[in-house]
Amino acid sequence: MGETEVLRQKLMENVAHLRGARLQEVLDFIDFLRTRERGDEDSILEVAGCLSGSPLSAGEIEEELYGEKPA
């Protein structure tokens, strides 16, 4: 058995002992690694959704972050 197969076997054995949310975390991490490996996602596209809408003023940003209006 090659090194890759040994690693796969160890991974499967360890994952078998996880439950619920931990399994989802492992799946999310695997998806992250696969996306990063493909290199097909432009990092600017990851934040593009939060850039839509009307621009905020400095005061509005401060109010949003700190919950108070600037002096």
Contact 46, 34 (CB under 8 A): no
Question: CA–CA separation, 13 vs 1, rounded Å?
Answer: 16
More confident site: 20 or 50: 20
End-to-end CA distance of the chain: 68
User: Is the pLDDT confidence value at 41 over 60?
Assistant: no
Q: How many CA within 13 A on the CB side of residue 24?
A: 2
* pTM for the predicted model, two decimal places: 0.47
How would residue 44 be classed by pLDDT, with cut points 50, 70 and 90?
low
The pLDDT assigned to 8 comes to: 94
Query: For a pLDDT cut of 70, what percent of the chain falls above it?
Result: 75
Mean pLDDT of 51-59: 75
Measured between alpha carbons, how far is 67 from 51 in angstroms, rounded to an integer? 21
